[in-house]
């Protein structure tokens, strides 16, 4: 009898947990695609909540959120957009924090094509260079800052192949439509190592820090799944994933 009671209690607990589990709509900066997919899987496994992910340019997400898109959480590629949304009342005050600091890399799918110091930018021995739209994508803006600091922007700019976001910039290089491109280190790194091709990690002092902030949006106010995701992002398991993709914390 006691065994039956125990089974019944466990079954009720499982059902209760399932009922309490919820979904959270998350707008995720394109550079954070790979780590967020891994984090979302861990999040669902550990909490029961499911994160429905949409990936894209931060600037476009801002416009969509202002136009009523049903996102509950924003993982931005910068810190200014979440702050702006908070000021405008479209995000919940006090929920914003920096979940990662991004690193910019000049990358080519061809081994040995990009030198370790980025000197090829000065030589200009390439036809096209991919870059995310600097007006919409913080990584694109950082790339322009770096080129300006290196005093090669004027010579390189005519060779730009402009992408909508950092994911598309990576695609342009991966498919050979551009020999080189500025992408996020996270797109070419896994477990602390850069994979195929050749790359130059752009020194952080050549551009403003790419501080990436997360914030609960107005649609997520008071929702347990949104609050649970924010807490999970600040935990050790998520931090380990973030670091493995080359981000600073």
Please, are residues 77 and 58 in contact by the beta-carbon 8 Å criterion?
A: yes
15: in domain: yes
3-state SS assignment for residue 148: helix
**Residue 235 lies in domain:** 2-101+210-244
Residue 141 lies in a domain: yes
Same domain flag for 9 and 79: yes
Query: What is the band of 57 on the pLDDT scale with cuts at 50, 70, 90?
Result: confident
In angstroms, the Cα distances linking 158 to 122, 155, 196, 219 are 14, 7, 27, 42
Same domain, 10 and 84: yes
- Whether this model's pTM surpasses 0.85: no
Q: Are residues 240 and 189 in the same domain?
A: no
Decide if pLDDT at 146 tops 50.
Answer: yes
Task: Indicate the average pLDDT of the chain.
Answer: 91
Verify that 162 and 232 share a domain, yes or no: no
What CATH code is carried by the domain that includes residue 36? 3.40.190.10
Q: Are residues 148 and 173 in the same domain?
A: yes
Write down the pLDDT at residue 136.
Answer: 83
Count of domains for the chain: 2
Overall residue count recorded for the chain in this entry: 249
pLDDT tens for residues 195-214? 889 999 999 999 999 999 99
**Strand-pair partners of 132:** 163
**pLDDT tens readout for residues 150-188:** 999 999 999 999 998 899 999 999 999 999 999 999 999
249 within a domain of the structure (yes/no) = no
pLDDT of residue 20: 65
> Are residues 82 and 20 part of one domain?
yes
Averaged pLDDT, 117-126: 92
């Amino acid at each position: 009898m006691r065994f039956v009671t125990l089974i019944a209690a466990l079954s009720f607990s499982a059902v209760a947990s399932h009922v309490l589990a919820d979904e959270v709509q998350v707008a995720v900066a394109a550079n954070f695609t790979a780590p967020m997919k891994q984090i979302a899987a861990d999040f669902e496994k550990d909490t029961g909540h499911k994160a429905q992910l949409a990936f894209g340019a931060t600037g476009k997400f801002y416009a969509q959120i202002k136009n009523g898109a049903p996102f509950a959480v924003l993982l931005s590629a910068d810190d200014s957009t979440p702050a702006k949304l908070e000021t405008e009342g479209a995000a919940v005050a006090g929920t914003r924090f920096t979940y990662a600091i991004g690193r910019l890399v000049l990358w080519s799918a061809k081994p040995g094509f990009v030198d370790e110091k980025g000197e090829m930018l000065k030589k200009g021995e390439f036809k096209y260079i991919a870059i995310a739209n600097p007006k919409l994508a913080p990584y694109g803006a950082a790339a322009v800052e770096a080129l300006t600091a290196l005093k090669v922007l004027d010579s390189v700019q005519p060779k730009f192949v402009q992408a909508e976001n950092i994911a598309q910039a990576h695609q342009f290089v991966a498919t050979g439509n551009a020999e080189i491109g500025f992408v996020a280190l996270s797109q070419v790194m896994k477990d602390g190592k850069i994979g195929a091709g050749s790359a130059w990690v752009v020194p952080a002092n050549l551009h403003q820090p790419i501080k990436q902030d997360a914030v609960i949006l107005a649609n997520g106010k008071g929702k347990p799944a949104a609050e649970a995701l924010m807490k999970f992002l600040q935990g050790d398991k998520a931090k380990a994933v973030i670091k493995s993709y080359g981000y600073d914390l």
